[in-house]
Amino acid sequence: MHYDILGENDNNFARILKTSADSLNEESTTEKDENELVFSQEHENKKEREDLKLSIKHLELTDLNFIFNDSTMSPSFSYKISEGRILSKNFALNKSNLISASANLPQGGILSVRWNGTPDFEKDDQRINILLKNIVLNEFSPYSYAYFAQPISKGILSINSETTIRNAQLKSNNKIDIYDCKMGEKNTKLKAPYQNIPLKAALYLLKDLKNNIQLSLPVQGNISAPEFSYRKIIFKAFTNTLVKLIATPFAALGKNNKGENYDYISINPIQYDFSSEQYDKLATVASIFEKLHNMKLIMTQQFNYDNAIKDQALYNLKRDYYIHLHPDKNAHTLSLIEMDDIKAIKKNDAALVKFAKTLTKNKSNDIAQSAITYYTIDSLESEIVKQMEIRNTFLRRYMINHRNIDDNLIIIQNLSLESLREYEGESRYALSLEAIEEEEENNEEEY
């Protein structure tokens, strides 16, 4: 026995049923309105099922062989299901039944199904549990080509699916476990709906330290809708997960790297260079990025503008106080060590407060606000912008010269001043990825 998908909402079973239905319709009156005819047929079918008292005390089918063919893509897909077994006790058409089924799949795969419901899927409640184990993924490369223009070269899949249908509304939760999944090279000559998703990068981000991918994929839909396709809603849910992951890729890496958060690098808006801890995190980010393909690393500097102005004003005040204590020093010759010593001066240091009141000629104990007025916002902003660019220079030099990232694969940028004035989050470099669009050849060829 075989099931052939021949087109959208078209298969060999539907054609057989349609032929039978057409024969019956030829014998029916042609004066009835189409809607009346459909209603009449549904009413008749329901009445016949209710009247029919067919009951099977023990239903058992064994040694079933089935081939699933899908010719809607190129290359076409063919999948053999063998040694199938179906078992049910006290089966009847007019009540809810419990049916269990099992079968062997290619290369050691196993299928197990448990169905609790009636033959009327659209009107009666259904509960379906499906377990797939040890599924060799490269068998499904035709689907991967059709949706992503990229073959599956390796991987083992297991799925535990729990589905309910009530009033034609399907809700399904699918727990997916994939081991050692690898993709082949993308065929840029093919056109596919999700070909712009960097699949290799997304799968890498999903993997844990043991090369496993574990997902929970909920889907829902109306099975009576003409456009309903379970395959399509599954693929849509899966691709939506990939798109969200690529949008904030480093947020997912905490699961894979001992719980640390790698979607940003914390900074101090008035620091020039980076600390040892920051360099260590940058090294980890660089090592992760090296394993990705066809991606650019984007590092965006962002911080709260008002807080940065206040911190810069306090730093300037402490700097001038330090120079006041060390007359041989000046603002242009301070070493990094001296800058750290300046930052370490306590804000509430009595001598600093006294110096601030004298310097700014303001008796307020809020020395930060007095410093902002004294140094002016325009001047402080100019210093902040200068330090942003110095940080960017240090960062670019480190990532390119010491972590061997290609200059063309890294973008280091700042939020605009307008955006910084509205930003209320943490001071940091936010990390993201951007897919590099592959050049397409003019002459398209099929796989």
Position 444 confidence tier, pLDDT thresholds 50, 70, 90? very low
pLDDT surpasses 90 at 111: yes
Position 252 confidence tier, pLDDT thresholds 50, 70, 90? low
pLDDT tens-digit map of 370-409: 999 999 999 999 999 999 999 999 999 999 999 999 999 9
- What pLDDT, on a 0 to 100 scale, did the predictor assign at position 47? 53
Please tell me the least confidently modeled range out of 133-137, 213-217, 232-236. 232-236
- What pLDDT, on a 0 to 100 scale, did the predictor assign at position 153? 93
Which of 75-79, 133-137, 286-290: highest mean pLDDT?
133-137
- What pLDDT, on a 0 to 100 scale, did the predictor assign at position 291? 73
- What pLDDT, on a 0 to 100 scale, did the predictor assign at position 202? 83
- What pLDDT, on a 0 to 100 scale, did the predictor assign at position 240? 86
pLDDT tens-digit map of 309-325: 999 999 999 999 999 99
- What pLDDT, on a 0 to 100 scale, did the predictor assign at position 261? 72
Work out the number of other CB atoms within 10 angstroms of the CB of residue 162. 15
Percent of the chain with pLDDT over 70: 82
- What pLDDT, on a 0 to 100 scale, did the predictor assign at position 42? 53
pLDDT surpasses 60 at 305: yes
Average pLDDT over every residue of 158-179? 94
pLDDT surpasses 90 at 181: yes
- What pLDDT, on a 0 to 100 scale, did the predictor assign at position 439? 46
- What pLDDT, on a 0 to 100 scale, did the predictor assign at position 87? 95
Position 11 confidence tier, pLDDT thresholds 50, 70, 90? low
Position 56 confidence tier, pLDDT thresholds 50, 70, 90? confident
Average pLDDT over every residue of 236-260? 70
Percent of the chain with pLDDT over 90: 55
Average pLDDT over every residue of 170-195? 90
pLDDT surpasses 70 at 55: yes
Position 442 confidence tier, pLDDT thresholds 50, 70, 90? very low
pLDDT surpasses 80 at 125: yes
Position 45 confidence tier, pLDDT thresholds 50, 70, 90? low
pLDDT surpasses 80 at 105: yes
Domain coordinates in residue numbering, the chain? 1-39, 52-247, 301-435
pLDDT tens-digit map of 317-351: 999 999 999 999 999 899 989 999 999 999 999 99
- What pLDDT, on a 0 to 100 scale, did the predictor assign at position 189? 85
